[in-house]
Amino acid sequence: MARRLVSVKLMPMNNPTILICAGHDPSGGAGIQADIETVAGLGGHAATVVSVLTVQDTCNVAEAMPVDDSFFGRALDTICADMAPDAIKTGVLATKAQIDHVARVKRAHPETPLVVDPVLVAAGGGRLADDRVAQTLRQRLIPLADIITPNRVEAQRLTDSGADAEACATQLAELGCHVLVTNGDDDDASQETISVLATPVGNVGHYRYQRLAGGPYHGSGCTLASAIATQLGRGDDMSRAIERAEAYVHGCLQRATQPGQGQLVPQRVRAW
């Protein structure tokens, strides 16, 4: 007996569009691919503009080649003319011009949350951006951000200090954004990881999780920043967005696998 196809009306879903500007990692563990997987894993749509091409694997970065500044700017403008992002997330931005392009887009969309992951150094230690880029981030983009998510080393470079995570977070928050300093990549014998959150009004809080064996993980910072951006794009307030993102990342790390010879890679999209 022939079966008749039945038309089903799909209910609208809150699937936020997240505009991502970040580098390409050929290993698939970090950068743009990590961002795409995270946004998809949380039910969003990722629109991406590549900032840097890299030679890297799951161990470290060997080379980084910035995308042409003009090309990068045109790619951003074309995407923004076609769709209105619900949030913007940046990873590595390799030149001052790239930073200025993103700042211009943010000023054109002042109500759109901006999450800045100031990627300066790969987890393996390879440098992705120099100190001039770090200072330009601090001067031109971080004051426009809703939240930044540096690890402890990046926070120290942004403050040009050797201060601890809480002091760095407090100093950076004076620029007008929330600052979440992570320490999951630290070579630490403690039984837990502690992220420090400083707010623009001077409050300081902590997020504590049991430290998992196998770290550091390749792309964990990208995963966290993209998860926060997705939750903000969905309409969560900052506190809720961070809590949900931290819980999501912890689950991704628990399911991490080792596709290469280096760091474990978080599994961001479940197999159904």
The total domain count for the chain is 1
- At 124 the pLDDT is 55
Domain annotation covers residue 45? yes
Distance separating alpha carbons of residues 106 and 114, to the nearest angstrom: 7
- At 154 the pLDDT is 92
Which two structure tokens, joined as six digits, stand for 69? 């500044």
Domain annotation covers residue 142? yes
pLDDT at 6 over 90: no
Mean pLDDT to the nearest integer, 128-149? 90
- At 127 the pLDDT is 61
Pick from 54, 118, 117, 43: which is nearest to 86 by CA? 43
Domain annotation covers residue 167? no
Distance separating alpha carbons of residues 253 and 228, to the nearest angstrom: 16
- At 269 the pLDDT is 85
Mean pLDDT to the nearest integer, 149-160? 94
Domain annotation covers residue 172? no
pLDDT at 184 over 90: no
Rounded to the nearest integer, the mean pLDDT of the chain is 90
Domain annotation covers residue 89? yes
Distance separating alpha carbons of residues 127 and 108, to the nearest angstrom: 31
Domain of residue 235, CATH code: 3.40.1190.20
Out of 38-47, 56-65, 123-132, 206-215, pick the least confident.
123-132
Higher confidence at residue 187 or residue 212? Answer: 212
- At 236 the pLDDT is 97
pLDDT at 116 over 80: yes
- At 193 the pLDDT is 86
Domain annotation covers residue 10? no
Domain annotation covers residue 4? no
Out of 11-20, 184-193, 249-258, pick the least confident.
184-193
Distance separating alpha carbons of residues 246 and 134, to the nearest angstrom: 25
* pLDDT tens track for 18-71: 999 999 999 999 999 999 999 999 999 999 999 999 999 999 889 999 999 999
Q: Which residues contact residue 234 at a Cβ distance below 8 angstroms, ignoring those fewer than 6 apart?
A: 14, 16, 44, 86
Pick from 30, 105, 130, 87: which is nearest to 231 by CA? 87
Domain annotation covers residue 66? yes
Domain span at residue 84 reads 17-153+221-254
Which two structure tokens, joined as six digits, stand for 20? 């991502």
Query: Could you tell me the pTM of the whole model?
Result: 0.91
- At 1 the pLDDT is 42
Higher confidence at residue 77 or residue 187? Answer: 77
